[in-house]
Amino acid sequence: MASFQVASFQVETFYDYTQNLLIFASCNTSLTIMILDGLNEQQLQAVTETEGYIRVIAGAGSGKTRSLASRFAYIVNELGINAANILCVTFTNKAALEMRNRVKKMIGNDYDLSYITTYHGFCVRALREDIHKVQYPRNFIILDTEDQKAILRDVFEELKLDSKNFTFKQVLNYIANQKYLLDYIPTLLAGEERASTNDLEKIFSKYLEKQLRNYALDFDDLINFTLYIYLNYPEVLEKWQQRMHYIQVDEMQDSSEEQYRLVKLLSNQHENLFVVGDPDQTIYEWRGARPEILVHFDADFKGVQTIIMNQNYRSTPKILDLSNNIIKNNTLRVQKDMFTLNPEGVDVVHFHAQSEFEEGLWIANEIKRLRKEENAALSDFAILYRANYISRNIEQSLIQASIPYTIFGGIRFFERKEIKDVLSYLRLMESGDNLSFLRVINSPTRGLGKKYLEQLKETAALQRVSYLEALEFNIERPEFARPGAVEFVQLIQAFRRKKNELRVSDLVKELLDASGLTDVLRRDGDAERLENIVELVNSIIVLENTDKEPLTLQRYLQEIALYTDMDMEKVENNKVKLMTIHIAKGLEFPHVFLCGFSDGVLPNATSVKERGLRAIEEERRLTYVAVTRAEKSFYMTESEGFNARTGLNKMPSRFIFEISEKLYVRKGVMKPEVLKEAREQLNIKINGSGFHERFQVGDLVQHPIWETGKIIAVNENRGEYQIEFPKINKIKPIVFTFKGLSLV
């Protein structure tokens, strides 16, 4: 039995655990049964506590979205507040649409719900209304990433730079970092040239110049310009503060400093800021998310109420026990243990395979078993992974087992643009077909436009030959003798001669360089697409080394024809879902496989190298997110072999060794020597990744050489302390992994 205040009246609550329902009674008949019906005690408190600063720590599967929607409806329906005076910020447009639909079902269609939106959506609306304050037109252009790259192409050409100097990804990261501070805006608005001491500064200056010329804003500008106007035009800020009586923020753990600054400014007048999220699910630090914002929210404001929503309605107790056991190793979090009243369910399984092939085959067979024994639908299964290239081996196993699947939120490995470009080149060498020709004739671009290709098609029709043959036969005619066309013909002819002399993998490697495809990807700085190309070559090498007869180009193309068949059924409802963990966030499935769970993949070796302990914690949160997607069963799978990306033998993820062995069943044959090597190798890594007693600013520590020092700063991103040593009168950067420090 519980009793607490709801608005201005008392509510008595008690649980009927047999039905998992909250029963409540109130003497106030205005309480809307539809809005509050079925909420548990913590959810009900989150919905009805409407005033002041409120933090809700909502664990996975705890009914967060329903609580947010119900709270919005409650404020409108029970308090009588105009919906146009409530800002509800969600993390994605999809989430905003879902939220609006939920609210409509509760309160009807006669309300303005346009302020249920994303950060960027709100900023666009605010700027359309007030950007004239900085002499920008209200119909300004919004740049996406491809627009930004188009601008950079012009800038590179003007400055005579190329990918050998910088990739577009490097430049875009630099621009984003420069825009972290708002001091670039006056320079941009004045049309002044920034002082340039290096090429990156020159690029940035030119980029801003072209932005102004087109009255364009990129995604960083949307928030930055809104903040700039609010800070420099107090009357505009006051107008928006007055308008937004209540502010709700969903997925607060994924908010950046700028986004947090925005809602803090807007809430200053009415002081009603409601934030909900789960620090344990912060998986976007690489794009600016700051879990500290939610963890330390109660330190930013006086009288903050914290509500812990820790009842999970999604998973079995065995799955939750595993997830709790994993995430407890993180330090940057708000303590909570998720629980559920669901039936106990089946054991969590860790499968250790001898090879990637065995791993994929075992997953396919387990899906078949569950379909047969439990009558599970294909759509009940999700296969998750840390990086897209992991899907290649799984896809091949599912195809061999005749299990339909779809890449959720992405495309099939063999249908990705960079992969299809390579395969189209290979097919053009082998068969000279028109489809492959049209795909690669301008990939990379060769300046052969629409008019040129139309003329070529007409010639091919008249001469009754393929497009490639028409080009070869007529390449000396003035209308066809473009430099790009000549180079293309020479390229294809040269590789036609080589295709029977080289191994397929070597042919592909040479083709990537000779065609310019590798250079394009490097210029874009797209590491994932480059990784996919590497994975393609690796998959060919595996076939070459395991097949008894030599792998010819013709046979290779025949074998992968299934993977690239464009006639596959388009209805994807009843198919196994493959996706990255990032894409899976917010989704749920009865049966979940986390595959490729090897150290160096999860946690990601590059992330750990660059960001140390912070990366370890984020990668552990990724694992936690993967586990909590599962409703009935959860599987962790990995395999032995050589990891070309780490240069080491593959080992199970260090996170597996953090989990109590009582919480899962191990299947597959893990030889004692493999287990011993894994523990030894991973123990070294764990000890070298900040898993020791941490020091804080102000601590006095003892150093073996410089004796007593004082911690004056802790740099989480670089994984180091700044320590002042009086003995040498200097400040030294000491890494977290150094074992020679002890607390005085």
Q: Which residues have a catalytic role annotated?
A: 64-65, 250-251, 281, 629
At 203, the amino acid letter reads I
Burial class (CB in 10 A: 0-12, 13-18, 19+), 479: exposed
**Residue positions counted in the chain:** 744
Residues 6+ apart with CB under 8 A from 270: 241, 244, 245, 246
Q: What are phi and psi of 677, to 5 degrees?
A: -65, -40
Q: What are phi and psi of 711, to 5 degrees?
A: -70, 115
Q: Where are the beta strands (DSSP E) in 113-232?
A: 116-118, 141-142, 216-217
Rounded CA separation 725/376 (Å)? 64
Rounded CA separation 502/534 (Å)? 18
Q: What are phi and psi of 56, to 5 degrees?
A: -115, 120
Rounded CA separation 293/327 (Å)? 19
Encode burial over 196-227: b for 16+ CB neighbours within 10 A, e otherwise.
eeeebebbbbbbbbbbeeeebbbbbbbbbbbb
Of 262, 290, 268, the C-alpha closest to 277 is 290
Of 419, 483, 484, 485, the C-alpha closest to 456 is 485
Rounded CA separation 592/578 (Å)? 10
Paired with 117 in beta bridges are 89
CA separation (Å) from 664 to 491, 676, 684, 720?
Answer: 55, 19, 24, 36
CA separation (Å) from 239 to 126, 133, 234, 236?
Answer: 11, 14, 9, 5
